[in-house]
């Protein structure tokens, strides 16, 4: 088990109230235990968001495209503080922007390739970054990165979701709904291919 898998996560109820703790490894074993997590989007001045392809060594949904950075705060740890630390660790972002929470997305997904389970109360955060931000991704965490508009990303996932992490559609929708001008529910594309 990697060191990250032995770290503690905060178990929560469906309203996000703390209910104890367990290890990352235990929380992601079937049937899964609902726990606090975060999904970060970095957004550039053109409104594009950074997405990353998860490294092949990830224990859950390897090589799938996901948002800029994901992780779990420790029990009692402030979500944005934990997210800032993961941005440094995963992407090598040396000047971490302020992060704003734009919603919560609760989901359950099973990884057919690894048998692991995601059952997360996921805080969706966004950080506005300057043009030309230098990234130094950790190859043990990130296989690739690219910039994409939110509308284009939602369209890609609606056409074929198989290349994407199962939470990405939900967290991207939360971001779109909270963005200037919003996104009425009727404009959210239907997704094909299931989780």
Q: Is 69 tagged catalytic?
A: no
List 10, 90, 118, 120, catalytic entry:
120
Q: Is 120 tagged catalytic?
A: yes
What would the 3-class secondary structure string for 114-132 be?
CCCEEEEEEEEEEEECCCC
State how far the Cα of 24 lies from the Cα of 10, in Å rounded to an integer: 9
For 84, 123, 150, 187, the CA distances from 176, given in Å and listed in that order, are: 21, 14, 7, 10
Q: Residues near 67 by Cβ (< 8 Å), separated by ≥ 6?
A: 39, 40, 41, 49, 51, 52, 168, 171, 172
List 69, 70, 90, 141, catalytic entry:
70
State how far the Cα of 166 lies from the Cα of 168, in Å rounded to an integer: 6
Looking at 1-72, list the stretches that DSSP marks H as alpha helix, in order from N- to C-terminal side. 3-6, 24-27
Q: Which residues are catalytic?
A: 70, 120
């Amino acid at each position: 088990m990697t060191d990250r898998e032995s770290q503690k996560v905060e178990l929560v109820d469906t309203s996000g109230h703390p209910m104890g703790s367990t290890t990352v490894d235990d929380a992601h074993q079937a049937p899964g235990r609902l726990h606090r997590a975060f999904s970060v989007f970095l957004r550039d001045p053109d409104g594009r968001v950074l997405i990353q392809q998860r490294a092949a060594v990830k224990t859950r949904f390897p090589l799938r495209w996901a948002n800029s950075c994901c992780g779990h705060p420790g029990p009692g740890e402030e979500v944005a503080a934990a997210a800032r630390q993961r941005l440094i660790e995963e992407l090598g972002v040396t000047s971490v922007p302020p992060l704003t929470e734009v919603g919560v997305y609760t989901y359950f997904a099973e990884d057919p390739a690894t048998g692991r389970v995601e059952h997360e109360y996921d805080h969706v955060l966004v950080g506005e970054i300057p043009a030309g931000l230098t990234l130094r991704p950790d190859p043990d965490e990130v296989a690739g990165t690219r910039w994409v508009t939110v509308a284009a990303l939602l369209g890609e996932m609606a056409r074929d979701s198989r290349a994407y992490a199962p939470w990405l559609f939900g967290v991207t929708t939360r971001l779109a709904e909270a963005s200037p001008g919003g996104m009425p529910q009727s404009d959210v594309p239907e997704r094909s291919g299931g989780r």
